[in-house]
A and B are shown apart, each in its own frame.
Chain A
Amino acid sequence: MSEEASELARTTEHRLEELEKGLFTSDLSVNEFLLIKEVGFHPVGFVMGSSIYHTGIQTRKWGQSQELTKLTEAMYNARELAMTRMEEEAAELGADGVVGVRLDVNYYEWGKDAAEFIAVGTAVKAEDGVSRLNKLGKPFTSDLSGQDFWTLLQTGYMPQGLVMGTCVYHIAHRGIGQTLGTTGQNVELPNFTQALYEARELAMTRMQDEATQLGATGIVGVRLEEKTHQWGSHTIEFLSLGTAVSKTSDDITLAKPITIISLDN
């Protein structure tokens, strides 16, 4: 896998060389660009990683709720490939981190179960020359916008990495007998509740494990996304994402915010 990745990296080398000479590219807005400059970082390049991945098929038992480990693995590996390739591009540029990371899955007409997993963001480098690499010696990644990045740094925290956990879960169809038995009634369906509960817990736990590996003190901006992709309504991916952060400074100079009432609608 890493061999393939480095193969791909080779084609990008020339482009990255230009970026090392001082030209930067970024998908940051002007606001974000200025805010990142404000906290002492300079954008070095628009970086991306992608993987077109075929997810395997796993038989699901009609009446049983269970995790589909093979699909979980596929969704995780494909994203990890995309993220790793993006990080490699950033490392090549000598970046300290990547901000504004977006993870996306695109389905095209290439065939069933084939999807493009993509990670894009803007690599940034500290202007004071002090390394901001994370505990694993890699550039930090974060899905925070330029505005959130600036605000986070005002609070004395530093992003360590974009962490994620995923779980693909099959939720049991209900038997005919059960369905008839409750027709017309308003009742809780304990099996459903339990399955959904467990799947989300698994995704969150995996995300937290990643944060622990980075030695983070916490995760901000956690989002839980639920998607059925192309699997039909009873198979759901629970994806949990957030930016792991750790406290780097106790010296906080948080300015008192001004309150405003905006007059435009």
Chain B
Amino acid sequence: MTNPPAAKEPFNLKDEVRRAVASLEMKSTSTHSTTSDLSIDEELNLHSIGWEQVELVSGISVFSVPAGLWNWGQGEIAGASKAHAQAFNHAISRIHKEAADAGGHGVVGVHIERSVHPSHVEVSLLGTAVRPIGASPVKPEEVFVSDLSARDFALLMVAGWQPLGLACGASFVYAPRRQMSAVLQQSSQNIELTNFTEAMYSSRESAMERMQQMAIALKGTGVVQVNVVEGPMPFATHAVGFAAWGTVVRLAKESHQLMHPQMVVSLNDPTAVFDAATLA
């Protein structure tokens, strides 16, 4: 069904709305449903690079961690780090499968929820599967997953880059408890707590290293929008954790396409809110 080329007459919103509403009286011919959590702006951004949304997809995993693991030990809490890595990977492969089943080539705007409990690690991913308009399905392992918004995805593609997947690394390390008593005796001094610094460094380095390994495995040349969560575990303050994740990207065209950004000045004033209670 090819519509006649759009008439040159100016776009009239009122007429469009009338036409839209009247069209509901006719029977719908479309047979292919899609679901998506994208906004209309994001959808238009996708369309502008020739992509479309297909389905809302998710991936979940819960991995058990021996609860006693956090209490004592030295160096890395390997069981917890491993459980985190596996939970992430399993959630990813489930969202891959759901996306591929729905005919998607990738998933954009993925919301990543991860939580670490004393006895288990949970990872939950939710996003919208997308594909080049009308493209045929691919295998689950060929699907890419990205936490970039549809808008950022479109912009990146225009610049010649393509997302390849999510990379995540996490590491949990015991921080030495003993040092605190030594510290209290020196409490009037300025001093770096080198053991603690080292524990933080060690978890950070392992986590970043793991994230980079995942990126290399995906044949990426970079990771953008890296998110970082770090600090002592709320339920075990002598254990510190570090987790980092981001979208792996690679240059898909021969060279980076310059975007020639345009400077804009917004003429909007900050919204003034009148508060009747304070007359301000």
Contact = CB atoms under 8 A, between A and B. Distances in A.
Interface string A109-147: 111011010001000000000000000000000000000
A88 B170 CA distance: 23
Contacts of B189: 54, 56
Contacts of A43: 222
Nearest to A59: B188
Given A51-B197, A261-B268, A33 B191 contact: no
Contacts of A11: 201-202, 205
B190 A52 contact: no
Contact of B155 (A30, A110, A151): A30
A237 B265 CA distance: 36
A110 B265 contact: no
Given A12-B205, A260-B266, A54 B246 contact: no
Given A25-B246, A52-B196, A259 B190 contact: no
A65 B250 CA distance: 57
Interface in A142-158: 150-151, 154
Interface residues of A, number: 61
B204 A48 contact: yes
A25 B192 contact: no
B73 interface: no
Contacts of A24: 221-223
B259 A34 contact: yes
A258 interface: yes
B222 A57 contact: no
12 contacts: A11-B205, A15-B212, A31-B152, A37-B256, A53-B193, A56-B190, A106-B231, A108-B232, A116-B231, A258-B265, A259-B264, A260-B266
Given A48-B204, A114-B183, A23 B152 contact: no
A15 B208 contact: yes
B200 A30 contact: no
Interface in B189-235: 189-194, 196-198, 200-202, 204-205, 208-209, 211-212, 215-216, 220-228, 231-232
A109 B262 CA distance: 47
A261 B268 CA distance: 6
A265 B266 CA distance: 13
B237 interface: yes
A37 B224 CA distance: 13
Contact of A110 (B198, B232, B264): B232
Contacts of A28: 224-225
Nearest to A21: B216
A58 B190 CA distance: 10
Given A46-B223, A108-B231, A110-B196, 13 more contacts: A15-B208, A18-B212, A24-B221, A27-B226, A29-B224, A34-B159, A46-B208, A51-B192, A55-B190, A56-B191, A73-B190, A114-B183, A257-B264
Contacts of B191: 53-54, 56
B155 A18 contact: no
B186 interface: yes
Interface string A47-81: 01011111111100000000000100110011001
Contact of A54 (B159, B193, B220): B193
B261 A38 contact: yes
Given A38-B259, A110-B232, A259 B212 contact: no
Given A11-B201, A27-B246, A54-B192, A259 B187 contact: no
Given A18-B216, A77-B190, A260-B267, A26 B224 contact: yes
A106 B191 CA distance: 16
Given A255-B262, A262-B268, A54 B183 contact: yes
A108 B223 CA distance: 29
B148 interface: yes
A34 B175 CA distance: 39
A134 to B, nearest CB: 25
A24 B248 CA distance: 9
B263 A151 contact: yes
A61 B188 CA distance: 16
B177 to A, nearest CB: 9
B216 to A, nearest CB: 6
A67 B190 CA distance: 16
Interface string B148-179: 10001001100100000000000000010000
B212 A8 contact: no
B159 A109 contact: no
A157 B156 CA distance: 27
